[in-house]
């Protein structure tokens, strides 16, 4: 099985590239880290009092996503998926069978941290690099529609999240150097050739 991690700051295009890769590679499955946030009263309170809570690893249910990834690697299948509702701050588990998974794509702002747990597995890390102004524009549009955030709150959270992510990249510098960095003008043929190997 090919294990592909796609990382980048919010608004850098991780979901778009994941879908492209999934369409290019047969038997692919996308796991978004956005669907593995912690839920419950403590999480709701934390999101109100901790600055940029959703951009910090403490907001993420690492145990749950690791179990799902290990299950897919072990069985080449999974019988459910999760969907997180950012407005209600709840996760719904949906029953659906996905079998014969040959390419597992893990995308999201927490994909970089997950590489720590899969160092014994061969994987490809793809880092998306995009201008801050472009990412900001995308996030302002997305979060006002999908996450019900007002523009001022959204802008503050984006700037804080951007800084948190850039600091994280420094910590994972050696992983990023070994992976692929894709900029605005993504050479999709080059990417597909790397993924086909």
**pLDDT for position 167:** 95
**pLDDT for position 186:** 62
**pLDDT for position 166:** 94
Q: End-to-end CA distance of the chain: give it in Å, rounded.
A: 12
Number of domains in the chain: 1
Q: Which CATH number belongs to the domain containing residue 180 in this structure?
A: 3.40.50.300
Give rounded-to-5 percent helix, strand, coil for the chain.
50, 20, 25
For residues 111 and 18, what is the distance between their CA atoms, to the nearest angstrom? 12
- Is the separation of the CB atoms in 94 and 68 below 8 Å? no
DSSP letter assigned to residue 12: S
| Average pLDDT per consecutive 10 residues, the chain (197 residues; last block may be shorter) | 93 91 92 97 92 93 97 97 92 97 97 91 91 90 68 78 94 86 69 68
For residues 66 and 193, what is the distance between their CA atoms, to the nearest angstrom? 28
- Full domain range(s) for residue 58: 2-196
**pTM greater than the 0.95 cutoff:** no
Query: Coil, strand, or helix at residue 16?
Result: helix
Concatenate the DSSP letters of all residues of 24-89 into one string: HSSSEEEEEGGG-B--SHHHHHHHHHSTTGGGSGGGB-HHHHHHHHHHHHHHS-EEEEEEEETTTT
**pLDDT for position 188:** 66
For residues 91 and 84, what is the distance between their CA atoms, to the nearest angstrom? 4
């Amino acid at each position: 099985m090919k294990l592909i991690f796609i990382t980048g700051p919010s608004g850098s295009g991780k979901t778009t590239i994941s879908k492209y890769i999934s369409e290019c590679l047969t038997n692919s499955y996308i796991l978004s880290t956005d669907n593995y946030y912690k839920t419950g009263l403590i999480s709701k309170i934390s999101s109100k009092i901790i600055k940029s809570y959703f951009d910090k690893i403490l907001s993420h249910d690492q145990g749950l996503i690791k179990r799902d990834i290990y299950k897919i690697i072990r069985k080449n299948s999974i019988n459910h998926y999760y969907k997180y509702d950012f407005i209600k701050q709840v996760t719904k588990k949906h029953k659906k069978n996905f079998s014969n998974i040959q390419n597992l794509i893990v995308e999201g702002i927490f994909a970089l941290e997950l590489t720590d747990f899969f160092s014994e597995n061969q994987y490809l890390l793809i880092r998306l690099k995009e201008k801050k102004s472009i990412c900001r524009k995308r996030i302002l549009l997305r979060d006002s529609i999908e996450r019900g955030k007002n523009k001022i709150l959204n802008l503050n959270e984006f700037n804080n999240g951007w800084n948190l992510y850039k600091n994280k990249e420094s910590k994972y510098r050696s992983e990023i150097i070994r992976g692929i960095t894709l900029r605005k003008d993504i050479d999709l043929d080059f990417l597909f050739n790397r993924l086909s190997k």
